[in-house]
């Protein structure tokens, strides 16, 4: 079965809306560690957080607390910037996923251009690997990006599914074919193949037939459903979709 990594950035978004300057307050809620534990109890295979340069949601303290508490896997999404790289090397997550980052965007808007940033990424990947951390690249389902990720020595790629998610239903199947072809190529390159961005309880059914997937990283849809039915139930429902 496809594994499920739950992105809990939006739990922190809710907290920051009220407690941005008081995250050590005893009244501060929701608690990021409690949320991660709920996801794990429900069967999530890992917890994903994005430590952004502007710290709009996840804070450094959150990442260290999660490292000390979660029982599954900590996947740290990050830009290739010196400050964040140094933080990752102190935290020692199980995996880092390099993503593009634009301070003006609401959420990540596309895949990382590995071919363009190959030289800068090469040195960072070597440092991350030396620390014993797995490396993934968040990329478009594109052969050149997959080849560059392989040449960098990445352990995995996460294919950007945002284009698929945002298309009208009548056009989604063509993008599903594109994702499957990219996943097949990545698997041939000995890369683990993950997917993420815009996957929800409805559109996930079009993706799960692809035999090459390792893990889906899903956040907004799960956190949104959790408002109505609770986080554990929301995670369990997504896992049921992945079993279908």
- Active site positions, annotated: 50, 77, 197
Over the range 107-119, which residues count as b (16 or more CB within 10 Å of their CB) and which as e?
Answer: ebebbbbbeebee
In the numeric block, the tokens 């999530």 are attached to 44
Distance CA 38, CA 67 (A): 15
Strand ranges inside 122-244, DSSP E: 134-139, 156-160, 192-196, 215-218
**Cβ 3 vs Cβ 156: under 8 Å:** no
CA distance 45 to 237: 14
Do 95 and 103 form a contact (C-beta atoms < 8 A)?
A: no
Distance between CA atoms of 77 and 66, rounded to whole angstroms? Answer: 14
d(CA 244, CA 235): 15
Tokens of 223: 């956190």
């Amino acid at each position: 079965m496809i594994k499920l990594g739950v992105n809990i950035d939006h739990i922190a978004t809710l907290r920051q809306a009220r407690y941005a300057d008081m995250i050590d307050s005893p009244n501060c809620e929701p608690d990021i560690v409690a949320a991660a534990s709920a996801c794990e109890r429900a069967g999530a295979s890992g917890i994903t957080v994005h430590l952004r340069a502007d710290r709009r949601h996840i804070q450094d303290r959150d990442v260290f607390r999660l490292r000390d508490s979660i029982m599954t896997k900590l996947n740290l999404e990050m830009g290739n910037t010196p400050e964040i790289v140094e933080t990752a090397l102190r935290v020692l997550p199980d995996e880092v996923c390099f993503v593009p980052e634009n301070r003006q965007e609401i959420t990540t808007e596309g895949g990382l251009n590995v071919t363009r940033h190959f030289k800068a990424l090469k040195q960072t990947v070597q440092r991350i690997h030396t620390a014993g951390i797995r490396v993934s690249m968040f990329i478009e389902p594109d052969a050149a990006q997959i080849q560059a990720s392989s040449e960098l020595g990445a352990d995995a790629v996460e294919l950007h599914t945002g284009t698929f998610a945002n298309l009208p239903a009548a056009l989604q199947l063509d993008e599903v074919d594109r994702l499957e072809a990219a996943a097949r190529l990545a698997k041939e390159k000995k890369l683990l193949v993950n997917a993420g961005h815009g996957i929800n309880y409805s559109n996930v059914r079009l993706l799960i037939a692809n035999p090459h997937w390792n893990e889906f990283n899903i956040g907004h849809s799960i956190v949104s459903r959790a408002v109505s039915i609770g986080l554990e139930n929301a995670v369990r429902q997504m896992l049921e979709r992945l079993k279908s």
